[in-house]
Amino acid sequence: MAEPDRRARLAILISGRGSNMEALVRAARTNPGFPAEPVIVVSNRADAAGLAVAGALGVPTAVVSSRGRSREAFEEVLDACLRAHAAEVIALAGFMRILTPGFVGRWPGRILNIHPSLLPKYPGLDTHARALAAGDSEAGATVHLVTDQLDGGPILAQARVPVLPGDTEARLAARVLEAEHRLYPEALAAYLADRRAVADTLRRS
């Protein structure tokens, strides 16, 4: 990512539906100033619905199966796939595998994730159910850098939505997801736009 005017080569990792991946690809396609170009969508599951979505958008796809492989073996193949596509930055988008410190260390400051809660509240799973059970008046999503800490890396941006009377988990999830689709492209663009911020964030983490 040396020349600031060149679009960074973006790999997007998914495991399922891929709606955040689609939001990133559409942002890159519709905004000529978007600082990243999706070059590969990788899924660890062959049945991820997002693979067809990426294909329809004309983004190359790959399946790196995590089944029947050790974590290390899986990450070796994943790393090779990303390097074969000359990826420079990686966006996790509903990617349901925890990456080891070894893998994360090979991509310092280059892996982003989107998480459906206002971190540091509710790392891990079932975020919307937990927000409802706690009686929270607001919920939201966070884009953060991936480090060794699960859902614990430096926060880059957050989007807030209200929790409304009568909300179910599904209704709240849908409201948060809509906010995610705006947040992820914005947060990625802002992060890449200021390469000095990348270096500074890394120094602090």
Residue closer to ligand GRF (CB basis): 20 or 147:
20
Task: Quote the radius of gyration of the chain (alpha carbons, Å).
Answer: 16
Residue closer to ligand GRF (CB basis): 16 or 123:
16
Would you please indicate which residues are annotated as catalytic (active-site) residues? 115
Residue closer to ligand GRF (CB basis): 100 or 158:
158
Tell me phi and psi for residue 77, to 5 degrees. Answer: -70, -40
Q: Does 177 bind ligand GRF (CB under 6 A)?
A: yes
Q: Which of residues 7-66 bind ligand GRF (CB under 6 A)?
A: 14, 16-20, 50
Task: With beta carbons less than 8 A apart as the criterion, state whether 171 and 19 touch.
Answer: no
79: exposed, middle or buried (C-beta count within 10 Å: 0-12, 13-18, 19+)?
middle
Q: Which of 34, 180, 183, 191 binds ligand GRF (CB under 6 A)?
A: 180
Cα–Cα dist 7/174, whole Å: 31
The residue whose Cβ lies closest to ligand GRF is: 94
Q: Which of 87, 114, 156, 172 binds ligand GRF (CB under 6 A)?
A: 114
Q: Which of 35, 38, 116, 185 binds ligand GRF (CB under 6 A)?
A: 116
What mask, x for binding ligand GRF by CB under 6 A, covers residues 138 to 157? ---x----------------
What mask, x for binding ligand GRF by CB under 6 A, covers residues 72 to 111? ---------------------xx-----------------
52, 86, 200, 117: CA torsion to nearest 10: 10
Cα–Cα dist 34/188, whole Å: 9
Helices 169-193 and 19-30: crossing angle in degrees, nearest 10, is 40
Q: Which of 110, 115, 144, 175 binds ligand GRF (CB under 6 A)?
A: 115
Nearest approach in angstroms of CB 199 to ligand GRF is: 26
Concatenated DSSP letters for 144-195?
A: EE--SSTT-SPEEEEEEEEPPTT--HHHHHHHHHHHHHHHHHHHHHHHHH-H
Q: What token pair was written down for 52? A: 């067809």
Q: Which residues bind ligand GRF (CB under 6 A)?
A: 14, 16-20, 50, 93-94, 114-116, 141, 177, 180
